[in-house]
Structure 1
Amino acid sequence: KDDAPKLVAKGRGYLADKIIELARLHNIPIRQDKKLLQILSRLDLEEEIPLEVYKAVAEILAFIYRLSNRPLDKPSATNAAPLE
């Protein structure tokens, strides 16, 4: 089994606005990164994150885990809830 990180949620327009709204509602910091956005927006859901953005994605995941005081276990895409 390949353990590369995968894209588990994305949206544009109304859906992107709802994702941001939910983040703000739950006091989740929002990061703006145009280069990362350009790369990730080309991916399909469940597609592996390209190696060129591993560092940026790892920094984001580490920040999220620190916020939630969870140990840095390997994240699993199967545990993520889909956004509708």
Structure 2
Amino acid sequence: MRKIAFLFLLLLSGCMSKEERMAAANAKDDQQCLSYGAQKGTDAYVNCRAQLEASRRQADAALSAASEASRPRNCINTGGYGGGTIICN
């Protein structure tokens, strides 16, 4: 059931604004930490939320790096054969 809900949330995220995605992620994190037994306002809850946020940032960074690595490059050689500089953007 959780997998279906997560997939549904993932599909909807393409139609949501950044603020809406953040609110949905916060609600999901809140429910996740509560399901672990952490109560709001406790150190366990704060640590749980911090860990989930750190995991999300790490996953986002990995996805961004993978996307950047697969982006086509446009390179030119400014000096011809045997010299010059290769510039890629």
Normalised TM-score (structure 1): 0.35
Q: Greater helix percent: which structure? A: 2
Higher relative contact order (CA 8 A, sep 6+): 1
Q: Greater strand percent: which structure? A: 2
Larger Rg, first or second structure (1 or 2): 2
Normalised TM-score (structure 2): 0.33
